[in-house]
Amino acid sequence: MSLKSNVLVVFSVLCLAVSIHAQKHKTIWDGQKQIQLLDFESKKELKIIKPLISKITLVNGNGVTSGTKALKINFKADEKVSGIDIHPTSTWKTSKLGDFCFVFDAANLSNVSANIWVEVFSAKGGSARRIALLPANKEQTYYFELKGSGVKKENGIRNNPAPWKSNSIMMMNNNARNQIDVSQISRIRISVRNNYDDKIIVLDNIRLVTSPKKDPNYLIGFVDKFGQNAKVDFPLKVTSDKQLKEIADKELKTLAVSKPMSDRSKFGGWKKGPKLKATGYFRTEKYNGKWGLVDPEGFLYFSNGIANVRMANSTTFTGMDYKNEAIRHRDPKDIIPEDSKDIVAIPNKIRKTAFNAYPWRRKMFLELPSYEDPLANHYSYRRESHVGDIKQGETYSFYRANLERKYGEQFAGSYLMKWRDVTIDRMLDWGFTSFGNWAGEEFYGSKRMPYFANTWVIGDFKTIGKGTWHNMGDPFDSEFANRTKFAITKVANQVKNSPWCVGVFVDNEKSWGNPGSFKSRYILALDALEMADVELPIKQVYMSFLKEKYKTASKLSSAWNVKIDSWTTLSKGMSFHKIKNPNKKIAEDLGVMVEIYATKYFQIVHDELQKQLPNHLYLGCRLTAWGMTPEVRKAAAKYVDVFSFNYYREAFGKKFWSFMEGIDKPAMIGEFHYGASSDTGFLFPGNIQTTDQTDRARLYKQYVNQVIDNPYFVGVHWFQYFDCNITGRAHDGGNGNIGFVTVTDRPYVEMVKAAKEVNENLYERKFGKIKKQDNK
């Protein structure tokens, strides 16, 4: 080859390299209108950044994508919030952008993945929040839409598919899409929450960018006949009915020779541990300074289980509805919430009135069975949804249909009986000791796996808390006690005094308030004070409390530093929601009122359970980190046998739970989970995101072991058994990879392995090695 030829080859290679480099860095944001918020090229930018339990520095090197510098943030572990607040000297105005996205570059310098929360605040009030998963030791561009059709329209999906093809990562929405005015942005918060490890993140090139043109088909045809993502391949994807049956046959052979772990008692307790007092039912006991449960035979017991093992939440809206109003009839005595109802059989006369109520929704599915198809028995109906533009309509259960494909139907419902037996076989094989909340009633009589019963107090009683997650019943209304009795009577009839029932959860994630602000902490008192005492029984109780304490309205007015001209005026209703500087006295009194409310609530439920289910534990109502106050915990402690909390965070942690020292009662986690989208085809991973199934399993083990190590906790329940529909569960659009099994009922190998590793060492880790049995 000549010198000239060699030069041409080298030149061609260099040109190709430059071309590839240019393509690598070309993004969908190039050429779009944008407002640069921060590029970190000047130290002056640090003046508008406030660290929140974190350390910030300007750096060069890894993570720099615009200019020569970027912002490094050292996030602290085990903190409620660690991060930064960005307060511009004047609001960022966005009118020139049209529809636009919040975009930034980030590099995770940590050896583990990180969930980053971004919250953008409007100058006109409200905020929009999204979460990004940053894989370990990786640099990527992240975005989410702040203004546009993807924000305005609720498609019945918690998180939509990405609206355009891009190497940038769309941040996840884990709540309803907040409709806020983003014409002026006043503040931005970037944070992590309750991390297990310290995290080091480098941020750069934070900007607002006009949205690219959306793919018109991004919401069309992405669901196959099995309920899987039709546009993505992934390891556990099923492609035929034949394959599904072959997978089932293989697993059945394995489960047929499986046995429970050798250290387990009949009820899942620690057979190799000390023998304590046996009462024939589950109870609590503090053993060697640690709270524990004791099974009916007297063995120490820890409840590690999976919640929501039932068909009630397995359906998704199809887009169809029926003109026949009979399908929407409500029994006034019904105590089952809509999201807890099983499959609703739809008569043919109603199906004949079907119409395409939501065409845009219907187009998401490639294939749904006709009403004449044998799998049409998996259609159902929801009379309401909690969020979204779909108010009601026909639903379908892909999970249930896949079970029928797997096991066939020798007689009506035989595949469900097979599913019940296989599910218990799996749970025992994986080492779990119980179900969590919301196990299907079909498991109650199996006498193979302990369970928790549940109910809701629902009825036509007075309510308060209009500004909360949902209204709260007035426990001083006599109808509240009547409905409590009605609800618990039904549970008692289901449980039948069975020793396999650990206890009962009553209600779930109630809107008790939040200590984050004056209004949110005391909402149950503030809301009642705004109403007339003739309309609300608890207002009368509050009035009696204030009159007894202060004797005259003028003394109350003076103590609260608020104008109250008479008891009559207060009894008719006064609003104190917007008090700018509430003093200690009003906060103290409102706190007492909230405790009065909560005490009455827990007392009514407790007393009724004692009458009808005296042998079973009262496990409260599964409080949340965002929906409980010290006053409510104080009231609950008087009546619950075991506290219960739903806690979705990367780590279980230690600092948050310091309040348990003052309570000194047993507690359990009712819900937590992690999810991934990279190897599942999911649009939304879950409340806490992970890189893949391996990362998911790592966090699972880490969380459960932290719960086991806590001396107050006696149980931990994963939510839930099978994945959500990728088109969203009918109740609230939840569409996460949150199951131990897929929509085609295939177990996630990594999660099963992690569960077995935790459960094999569960009791020795919790209570220590026992050399000599301590018989009582």
Taken as a whole, the chain contains a residue count of 776
Model confidence at 240: pLDDT above 70: yes
Per-residue pLDDT of 131-174, as tens digits, reads 999 999 999 999 999 999 888 778 889 888 999 999 999 999 87
Rounded mean pLDDT, 358-385: 96
Residue 327 lies in a domain: no
Residue 78 lies in a domain: yes
Residue 538: half-sphere exposure toward Cβ, Cα within 13 Å: 31
Model confidence at 127: pLDDT above 60: yes
pLDDT at res. 11: 36
Q: What angle do CA 420, 704, 674 make, to 5 degrees?
A: 75
Total of domains in the chain: 1
Per-residue pLDDT of 676-700, as tens digits, reads 999 999 999 999 999 999 999 999 9
DSSP line for 99-130: SEEEEEEEEE-SSS-EEEEEEEEETTS-EEEE
Residue 487 lies in a domain: no
pLDDT at res. 158: 87
Per-residue pLDDT of 64-116, as tens digits, reads 999 999 999 999 999 999 999 999 999 999 999 999 999 999 999 999 999 99
Residue 667: pLDDT band (50, 70, 90) is very high
Residue 161 lies in a domain: yes
Residue 774: pLDDT band (50, 70, 90) is low
Tokens of 512: 């008790």
Model confidence at 405: pLDDT above 80: yes
Residue 696 lies in a domain: no
Residue 13: pLDDT band (50, 70, 90) is very low
Residue 178: pLDDT band (50, 70, 90) is low
The rounded mean pLDDT for the chain is 93
Tokens of 746: 């295939």
Per-residue pLDDT of 518-549, as tens digits, reads 999 999 999 999 999 999 999 999 999 999 99
pLDDT at res. 331: 85
Contacts for 573 with CB less than 8 Å, ≥ 6 apart = 529, 530, 531, 532
Q: Are 582 and 630 in contact (CB under 8 A)?
A: no
Residue 584 lies in a domain: no
Residue 519 lies in a domain: no
Residue 23: pLDDT band (50, 70, 90) is very low
Model confidence at 471: pLDDT above 60: yes
Would you tell me how many other CB atoms lie within 10 Å of the CB of residue 352? 11
Residue 245: pLDDT band (50, 70, 90) is very high
- The alpha carbon of residue 192 and the mean position of all alpha carbons in its chain are separated, in whole angstroms, by 17
DSSP symbol at 442: G
Tokens of 300: 């120490």
Q: Which of 231-245, 381-395, 633-647 has the lowest mean pLDDT?
A: 381-395
Q: Domain range spanning residue 110? A: 28-210
DSSP line for 328-386: G---TT--S-GGG--PPP--HHHHTTEEES-HHHHTTBS----TTSGGGGGEEEES--S
Per-residue pLDDT of 625-662, as tens digits, reads 999 999 999 999 999 999 999 999 999 999 999 999 99
Residue 477: pLDDT band (50, 70, 90) is very high
Rounded mean pLDDT, 479-495: 97
Model confidence at 1: pLDDT above 50: no
Residue 241: pLDDT band (50, 70, 90) is very high
Residue 25: pLDDT band (50, 70, 90) is low
Strands 100-108 and 623-624: unpaired
Share of the chain above pLDDT 70, in %: 95
pLDDT at res. 571: 97
Residue 205 lies in a domain: yes
Would you tell me how many other CB atoms lie within 10 Å of the CB of residue 728? 29
Per-residue pLDDT of 426-464, as tens digits, reads 999 999 999 999 999 999 999 999 999 999 999 999 999
pLDDT at res. 197: 95
Q: What is the CATH number of the domain that holds 118?
A: 2.60.120.430
Per-residue pLDDT of 316-336, as tens digits, reads 999 999 999 999 998 887 878
